[in-house]
Amino acid sequence: MTNQARVVLPTAPNFRDLGGYTTHDGARVRPGVAYRSDALHRLSDDDLRALGGLGVRQVVDLRTEFERQSNPDRVPDGAEYTSLDVQGDHSTGADLVAVLSDPARARTVFADGGAERFMHDVNRILVSGADARAGYAELLRRVAAGPGATVFHCSAGKDRTGWGAALLLTLLGVPRETVFADYLASNGRLAHLQESFRAAVEGAGVDLELVWPMVECRTSYLETAFTEVEKVYGSFGAYAAEGLGLAPGDLAALRERMLE
């Protein structure tokens, strides 16, 4: 089942409700509880009011410190803001702007498929990195506890947010093909960001083809994350219990909150 819950925020085009999906056993993910998004620093006044009108009471920012300081979120009145940097000090969380501002360095870093390798590395780290495991566990507990709705996001809302959404939906029992469809839906929502990236890269004198794999969601990237789960933990259940430290009560609370 595709997600029928459609909320449009023109200044956050990758904002969407995770509700509406059907699980393996026929339950439905409750709309209006958890939203995924791209960054919220661009929100217009109208979209900020709309976000508040959806009952959003928690904003969880998965970005690095550099990203947060450069582009601080706009948060609805009365909402709690929390930063959960899921990349931390790992090299995949480094400031890519610095790399792209140096064409010679960028050619070295991204040569011979380097950008694609980087994306696979990111997806592995989002599963097994210590900062990622702590951050995603806290995100899930916050979604389960409320109050009100939670929106979680990174910059484009496709990779760090994409794994957060895949993790949440998988734990709720949503079929894998639906999880992948939700992940890939970012590609149709980020045209303006891709064009901005194109202009910045070309303006910096960097070959666009070298770095283009970084602006797309690809099935292979998410497959890498699920493969990392199996490789490191053996199963998704073991990943939740051992990797994320989620107790049975945590998972029960999440399902109680999110399923109808």
**Catalytic residue set:** 154
Radius of gyration of the chain (CA): 18
H helix or E strand, kind and range, residue 165:
helix 160-172
Closest by CA to 56, choosing from 76, 84, 86, is 76
> Rounded to whole angstroms, how far apart are CA atoms 136 and 128?
11
Closest by CA to 182, choosing from 197, 168, 196, is 168
- Amino acid at site 65: E
| Strand 16-17 relative to strand 34-37, pairing | antiparallel
| Cα four-point dihedral sign 43, 57, 136, 174 | negative
SS (H, E, C) 176-193: HHHHHHHHHHHHHCCHHH
- By the 10 Å C-beta count (0-12 exposed, 13-18 middle, 19+ buried), 88 is classed as middle
> Rounded to whole angstroms, how far apart are CA atoms 50 and 12?
11
> Rounded to whole angstroms, how far apart are CA atoms 73 and 40?
5
- By the 10 Å C-beta count (0-12 exposed, 13-18 middle, 19+ buried), 57 is classed as middle
